[in-house]
């Protein structure tokens, strides 16, 4: 049952071949069996899931369901879920029960989907390996000695081990695409503003964007149909029609022009990863696409720019976690300052503190112009590089991550090495563009993703480009032996 696509599951539910309760129970059983080891879920909402499944079965019986009614999913624990702990994998929010639902959750609920639980992640989405979670690291189902990537590592591991048929993630600098690459998934970070950020705990507000993590482009398209759209409660959400993302999956790629940025294939890229990515690109050529070498000359500015912008925004966003308005409160404070400093000192982990300190510094009077303002100027240059490239090409391709999954502890003592994990993904967030990672092959038994970057609001094309490749290859159908 756990090897079926969303449309196969949908048909089975609509025709009554299986019930949503049976399907949900199947996944809950798998979670029970495997989560102890993988640590992919922070919270499993078993009772709530079975209630939602019963309600879905009733709708299905009355023929009132939509295409995803009765299908289970997992939400990253960054989305507020009413009445359920929403921890952001931080001690700070370990006891936080969200009083309302994020728009994304509201949308999956009203589509009749069943929430299995909340997945593990890097604390406040800061990380690339899921090692910064207060609840401990997540294991990669492809090799449990390796990280699943981050920050959406729990959703990625849950998907790779088939503990859920589809999941949500968020991507501020690569957190959907990099774990998708490391866990053999199809993950899409949409254009900034495509999906509402309301109720999604903010890390860096001008970069954060939610998206689907799925087993195929087709499945991702189904979830995009539900997640996308304008939301008056998010002032950065864009009021623009949502196409049916499944409608154009079968369009031909004849004449498609693919840009290959030379900066994406240079130093720092594992040669075996490069080989996998190049083979995938050749396959596109065989499918009728044209290749064109391009340049994104400001790519080298992306990581330093991001590590000013993201910490600056996080230092501001996380100021609300003060032990009074939100978050962990220290015991027996002797005065207000003691309450603030100890609550925050105890509640936040090391990486989060590092970011808050960098961000506070960068925003301080006297430094603002030198750091934050300068970073915003670099950001514009990065965006302009892409816009120039899109005058000549339809999509851009390259690796999603410079290496396959790495071992636990390998990069924890070297934050800069960890930050380089996102070297190919971060500039996409800085520009606000959509990007995808799709399974493209393996290196020593570990998955490697191909990144496809599109122009603004070109998600339908990205999904089409990914789907066509998945019609010709079977990388995306591979499952680690232990979880078949
Ligand atoms: N790895 C990057 C960081 O640590 C990106 C994380 C993300 O996309 N949420 O900030």
Model pLDDT, residue 120: 98
CA of 149 to the centre of ligand 1 (A): 10
Which residues are catalytic, by number?
76, 151, 175
Ramachandran class of 39: left when φ > 0, alpha when ψ lies in -120 to 50, beta otherwise: left
Residue spans of the domains in the chain: they are 6-255+394-483, 300-376
Q: Does 175 contact ligand 1 (Cβ within 6 A)? A: yes
Model pLDDT, residue 45: 98
Ligand 1 test: best mutation among 151, 153, 353, 428, most atoms within 8 Å of CB? 151
What's the rounded Cα separation, in Å, for the pair 220 and 397?
A: 19
Ligand 1: atom nearest CA of 306 is: 10
CA of 178 to the centre of ligand 1 (A): 9
Q: Does 155 contact ligand 1 (Cβ within 6 A)? A: no
Model pLDDT, residue 365: 87
CA of 171 to the centre of ligand 1 (A): 7
Ligand 1: atom nearest CA of 125 is: 9
C-alpha count within 13 angstroms, C-beta hemisphere, residue 208:
27
Q: Cα-flanking dihedrals φ and ψ of residue 231, to 5°?
A: -140, 115
Q: Does 141 contact ligand 1 (Cβ within 6 A)? A: no
Ligand 1: atom nearest CA of 207 is: 8
Model pLDDT, residue 2: 94
Other beta carbons within 10 angstroms of residue 409's beta carbon come to 11
In the chain, which stretches have pLDDT less than 50?
A: none
Asked if residues 250 and 227 have their Cβ atoms less than 8 Å apart, the reply is: no
Q: Does 153 contact ligand 1 (Cβ within 6 A)? A: no
CA of 118 to the centre of ligand 1 (A): 19
Residue nearest to atom 5 of ligand 1 (CA): 173
Please name the fold of domain 6-255+394-483.
Answer: Amidase signature (AS) enzymes (3.90.1300)
Residue 217 tokens, joined: 């482009």
Q: Does 172 contact ligand 1 (Cβ within 6 A)? A: yes
CA of 208 to the centre of ligand 1 (A): 9
What's the rounded Cα separation, in Å, for the pair 227 and 238?
A: 13
CA of 209 to the centre of ligand 1 (A): 11
CA nearest neighbour of 137 among 326, 445, 411, 404:
411
Q: Does 125 contact ligand 1 (Cβ within 6 A)? A: yes
Q: Does 171 contact ligand 1 (Cβ within 6 A)? A: yes
Q: Does 78 contact ligand 1 (Cβ within 6 A)? A: no
CA of 361 to the centre of ligand 1 (A): 19
CA nearest neighbour of 351 among 132, 135, 175:
132
CA of 379 to the centre of ligand 1 (A): 17
Q: Does 151 contact ligand 1 (Cβ within 6 A)? A: yes
Ligand 1: atom nearest CA of 422 is: 1
Ligand 1: atom nearest CA of 307 is: 10
Ligand 1: atom nearest CA of 355 is: 10
CA nearest neighbour of 184 among 164, 156, 204, 162:
156
Q: Does 263 contact ligand 1 (Cβ within 6 A)? A: no
């Amino acid at each position: 049952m756990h090897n079926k696509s969303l449309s196969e599951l949908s048909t089975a539910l609509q025709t009554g071949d299986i019930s949503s309760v049976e399907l949900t129970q199947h996944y809950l059983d798998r979670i029970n069996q495997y989560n102890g080891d993988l640590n992919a879920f922070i919270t499993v909402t078993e009772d709530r899931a079975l209630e939602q499944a019963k309600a879905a079965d009733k709708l299905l019986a009355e023929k009132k369901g939509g295409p995803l009614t009765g299908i289970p999913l997992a939400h990253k624990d960054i989305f507020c879920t009413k009445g359920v702990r929403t921890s952001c994998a931080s001690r700070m929010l370990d006891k936080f029960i969200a009083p309302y639902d994020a728009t994304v959750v509201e949308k999956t609920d009203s589509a009749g989907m069943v929430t299995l639980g909340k997945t593990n992640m890097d604390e406040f989405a800061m990380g690339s390996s899921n090692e910064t979670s207060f609840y401990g690291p997540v294991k990669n189902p492809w090799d449990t000695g390796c990280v699943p990537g981050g920050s959406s590592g729990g959703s990625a591991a849950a998907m790779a081990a088939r503990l859920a048929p589809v999941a949500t993630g968020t991507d501020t600098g690569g957190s959907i695409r990099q774990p998708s690459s490391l866990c053999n998934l199809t993950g899409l970070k949409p254009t900034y503003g495509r999906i509402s950020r309301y109720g999604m705990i903010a890390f860096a507000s001008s970069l954060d964007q939610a998206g689907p993590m799925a087993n195929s482009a087709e499945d991702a398209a189904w979830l995009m149909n539900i997640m996308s759209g304008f939301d008056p409660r998010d002032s950065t959400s864009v009021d623009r029609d949502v196409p049916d993302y499944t409608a154009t999956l079968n369009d031909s790629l004849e004449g498609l022009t693919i840009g290959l940025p030379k900066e994406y294939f240079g130093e720092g890229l594992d040669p075996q990863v490069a080989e996998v990515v190049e083979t995938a690109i050749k396959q596109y050529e065989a499918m009728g696409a044209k290749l064109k070498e391009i340049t994104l000359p400001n790519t080298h500015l992306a990581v330093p720019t991001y590590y000013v912008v993201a910490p600056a925004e996080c230092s501001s966003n996380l100021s609300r976690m003060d032990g009074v308005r939100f978050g962990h409160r220290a015991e027996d404070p002797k005065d207000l300052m003691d309450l603030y400093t100890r609550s925050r000192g105890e509640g936040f982990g090391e990486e989060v503190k590092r970011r808050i300190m960098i961000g506070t510094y960068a925003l301080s009077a006297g430094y603002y112009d030198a750091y934050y303002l300068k970073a915003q100027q670099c950001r514009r240059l990065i965006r302009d590089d892409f816009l120039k490239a899109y005058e000549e090409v339809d999509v851009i391709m390259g690796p999603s991550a410079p290496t396959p999954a790495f071992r636990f502890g390998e990069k924890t003592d070297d934050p800069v090495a960890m930050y380089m994990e996102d070297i190919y993904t971060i500039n996409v967030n800085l520009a606000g563009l959509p990007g995808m990672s799709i399974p493209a092959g393996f290196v020593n038994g570990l998955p490697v993703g191909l990144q496809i970057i599109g122009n603004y609001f070109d998600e339908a094309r990205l999904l089409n480009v990914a789907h066509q490749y998945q019609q010709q290859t079977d990388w995306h159908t591979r499952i680690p032996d232990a979880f078949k």
